[in-house]
Amino acid sequence: MELILREDIIGLGYKNDIVTVKSGYGRNYLIPTGKAVIASDSAKKVLAENLKQQAHKLAAIKADAEKRAEALQNVALVIEAKVSATGVTYGSVNAATVAEELKKRGIEVDRKIITMHDIKKVGDFEATIHFHKDVEVKVPVKVVAENAPVEEAPEAEVSAEVEVAEAPVAEVEAQIEEDETPAAE
């Protein structure tokens, strides 16, 4: 069954594409939800006419998508996640997590245009962001342990404080013993 898409559907096609799908998927989901129409001869002619009229709008949309993609060219994300001792994350890092991290950096990206596999362990991965059917950016994602071991320098400072704290206690104990000794005589 041939259909004309009215909106972008990840994994199937983009708006105004003519796609072939199984009839059940088309009749039971795409057409009733308004995501597609049947690609009859008249619908194809109307589509061709609309594309001619909207050519300059589509060029502007593509230019905007290229500008947004250019802002992400040198971005590398580092995401901290809670990790077990074996390096497996509790939960997973997914497209929504990547979108939140980009938002923290001031880059607004909808999670629905990000494609990636759910990340369930520490390491380097890649997320693909689809701004337009001709414009996509691959963003490196590094997952690191949130509960990483602390450095040894702060531990040395803590142990030094403990030794300083123990010294006055020893002096106080020595004074107490001296006080008790004269009373015994």
Q: What pLDDT, in 10s, does the model give residues 69-94? A: 888 888 889 999 888 888 888 888 99
Average pLDDT over residues 6-26: 91
Neighbours of 44 (CB within 10 A): 13
78 and 141 both lie in a single domain: yes
- Strand 36-38 relative to strand 2-5: parallel, antiparallel, unpaired? antiparallel
Tell whether 176 is covered by a domain.
no
Residue, of 134 and 154, whose pLDDT is higher: 134
Of 109, 105, 103, the residue nearest 130 (C-alpha): 109
pLDDT at position 40: 94
25 and 60 co-located in one domain:
yes
27 and 84 housed in the same domain: no
- The predicted model scores a pTM of 0.60
Q: Do 9 and 59 belong to one domain? A: yes
Based on the fold, state whether residues 12 and 40 are members of the same structural domain: yes
The better pLDDT of the pair 162, 30 is held by 30
Contact 24, 3 (CB under 8 A): no
What CATH number has the domain bearing residue 20?
Answer: 3.40.5.10
- Evaluate whether residue 155 is within a structural domain: no
Name the average pLDDT for the chain: 81
- Phi, psi for residue 91 in degrees, rounded to 5: 90, -160
Domain count, the chain: 2
Look up the domain containing 36 and give its range. 2-66
